[in-house]
């Protein structure tokens, strides 16, 4: 018997031993907390979590599968104590709602598989990836305060961002920073408050193809090539309401079989294998007959060229910033959101903004006017302390004027207490 034969026999025996020892760990049942179950799991194990709300911050484990019973009712709530989920290479998480962290999922040089999750209402980014890119597939990434997905210096040949619905995030659906080189395809980037896709100059190698970029304030900025395989059409979700959400597309949706490999754009009800590789798409700077449903024909695009866009921010409401009651003192959880503003203002150093404060209507009108100005001043002071030119920022207080919602309810009053940035040039 040769050494090579002995090696393969031994390797096979070890593999069979590992498979035999793999176990299912139940939460609750074996453990009451997900983190305890993961801490006692070994490579090859699966941690199954029943419906319920789990108030904890967890770190995934290499080789361990973490699976919720149902993505809408199996909830991990991070309590704004750092990331709700910390990614680890070689791990897998699926079928959860991941909410209320600073980040929903944070991957620092780690590439887990994140799929069939709802990642929503996190204080900064829904999913943040630094250096390495996780496989991000078939998720709904909704209503996070800053970006839905952030890739910073991430590079990957195998991992992709695909088949996701990325909506209503406070800044952009997908933000690309640093020398990022990844693939984003078959996604729906919709109704994000600033950009569908934002890239800084170093991120131009990322391939953005076969996506639906629809009804964002701006579709994308000039530092990313968005080729003509991308479209801008109403996806026609079965039910986009958060009361009984169903973000699969209807049978007559224009997303059907419009993606790479003739797959649907957006969520897939069942995993499908790409039927055939598409030819390399023609990019926006190459000649091609203009398709009727392309980005350049949509009213959502600011220019007739597929590679053109509005390059710089115009105005926006500053989400994620709050003050102590009846005070201009920033709360500690405001700094993360302000730091994101610092990053964007540094990316466009020549822009000038008015910072405008507003309040609800509870109190003396003149005092509210003064308080709104003081809060705008506090925001400016913080930005200047981080290196933003003070002469590029002017502050105003408008008190309870121009309410965005009714002042008769707590939720409406909260919406009216806000800071807005209005571009001056």
What whole-number distance in Å separates Cα of residue 341 and Cα of residue 353? 12
pLDDT in tens, 20-44: 578 999 999 999 999 999 999 999 9
Q: Which of 352, 351, 349, 360 is nearest to 403 (CA)?
A: 360
Q: Which of 166, 165, 172, 132 is nearest to 151 (CA)?
A: 132
Provide mean pLDDT across the span 365-380: 94
> 156 CB contacts (<8 Å, ≥6 apart)?
111, 132, 133, 181, 182, 183
pLDDT in tens, 225-255: 888 899 999 999 999 887 789 999 999 999 9
pLDDT of residue 349: 75
pLDDT band of residue 272 (cuts 50, 70, 90) is: low
Using the Cα atoms of residue 81, residue 60, residue 166 and residue 286 in order, give the sign of their dihedral.
positive
Residue 367 pLDDT greater than 80, yes or no: yes
∠160-246-81 over CA atoms, to 5°? 65
Q: Which of 39, 71, 32, 88 is nearest to 55 (CA)?
A: 32
Q: How far is CA 144 from CA 118, 219, 386, in A?
A: 11, 18, 24
> 198 CB contacts (<8 Å, ≥6 apart)?
147, 171, 172, 174, 175, 176, 220, 221, 224
pLDDT of residue 276: 39
What does residue 394 show for φ and ψ, rounded to 5 degrees? -115, 145
Pairing relation of β-strands 246-249 and 315-317? unpaired
ω into 53 cis (within 30 of 0): no
Averaged pLDDT score across all residues of the chain: 84
pLDDT of residue 313: 53
pLDDT of residue 136: 97
pLDDT of residue 322: 86
Provide mean pLDDT across the span 59-72: 96
Using CA atoms of 403, 407, 413, 418 in order, give the dihedral in degrees to the nearest 10: 10
Instruction: Provide the CB-side half-sphere exposure for 315 (13 A, CA).
Output: 10
What whole-number distance in Å separates Cα of residue 116 and Cα of residue 73? 13
Q: How far is CA 169 from CA 54, 175, 217, 292, 320, in A?
A: 24, 11, 11, 28, 12
Who wins on pLDDT, 287 or 65? 65
Residue 350 pLDDT greater than 90, yes or no: no
pLDDT of residue 203: 83
> 58 CB contacts (<8 Å, ≥6 apart)?
34, 35, 38, 66, 76, 84, 85, 86
pLDDT of residue 321: 86
pLDDT of residue 289: 32
Q: SS3 of 374, please?
A: helix
Residue 273 pLDDT greater than 60, yes or no: no
Six-digit token string for 193: 């408050």
Residue 305 pLDDT greater than 60, yes or no: no
Q: Which of 359, 343, 329 is nearest to 419 (CA)?
A: 359
pLDDT in tens, 76-131: 999 998 999 999 999 999 999 999 999 999 999 999 999 999 999 999 999 999 99
């Amino acid at each position: 018997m040769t050494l090579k034969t002995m090696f393969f026999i031994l390797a096979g025996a070890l593999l069979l031993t590992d498979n035999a020892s793999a176990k299912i760990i139940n939460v609750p049942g074996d453990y009451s907390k997900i983190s305890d179950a993961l801490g006692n799991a070994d490579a090859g194990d699966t941690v199954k979590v029943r419906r319920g709300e789990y108030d904890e911050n967890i770190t995934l484990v290499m080789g361990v599968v973490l699976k919720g019973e149902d993505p809408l009712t199996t909830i991990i709530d991070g309590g704004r104590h750092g990331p709700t989920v910390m990614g680890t290479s070689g791990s897998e998480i699926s079928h959860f709602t991941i909410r209320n962290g600073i980040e929903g999922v944070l991957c620092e040089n780690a590439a887990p598989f994140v799929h069939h999750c709802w990642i929503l209402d996190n204080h900064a980014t829904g999913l943040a990836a630094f250096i390495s890119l996780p496989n991000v597939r078939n998720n709904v990434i909704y209503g996070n305060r800053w970006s839905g997905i952030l890739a910073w210096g991430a590079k990957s040949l195998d991992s992709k961002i695909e088949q996701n619905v990325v909506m209503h995030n406070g800044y952009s659906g997908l933000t690309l920073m640093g020398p990022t080189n990844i693939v984003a395809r078959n996604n729906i980037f919709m109704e994000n408050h600033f950009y569908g896709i934002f890239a800084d100059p170093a991120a131009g190698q990322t391939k953005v193809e076969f996506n639906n970029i629809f009804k964002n304030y701006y579709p994308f900025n000039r530092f990313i090539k968005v080729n003509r395989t991308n479209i801008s059409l109403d996806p026609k979700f079965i039910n986009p309401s958060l009361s009984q959400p169903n973000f699969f597309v209807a049978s007559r949706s224009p997303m059907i079989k419009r993606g790479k490999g003739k797959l649907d754009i957006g969520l897939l009800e069942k995993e499908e294998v790409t039927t055939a590789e598409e030819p390399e798409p023609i990019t926006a700077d190459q000649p091609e007959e203009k398709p009727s449903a392309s980005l350049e024909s949509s009213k959502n695009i600011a220019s007739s060229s597929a590679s053109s866009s509005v390059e710089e921010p115009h105005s926006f409401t500053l989400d994620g910033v709050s003050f102590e009651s009846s005070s201009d003192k920033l709360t500690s959880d405001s700094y993360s959101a302000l730091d994101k503003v610092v990053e964007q203002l540094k990316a466009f150093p020549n822009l000038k903004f008015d910072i405008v404060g507003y309040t609800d209507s509870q109190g003396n009108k003149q005092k509210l006017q003064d308080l709104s100005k003081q809060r705008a001043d506090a925001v400016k002071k913080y930005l200047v302390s981080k290196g933003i030119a003070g002469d590029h920022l002017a502050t105003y207080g408008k008190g309870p004027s121009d309410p965005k919602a009714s002042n008769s309810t707590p939720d409406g009053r909260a919406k009216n207490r806000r800071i807005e940035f209005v571009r001056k040039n």
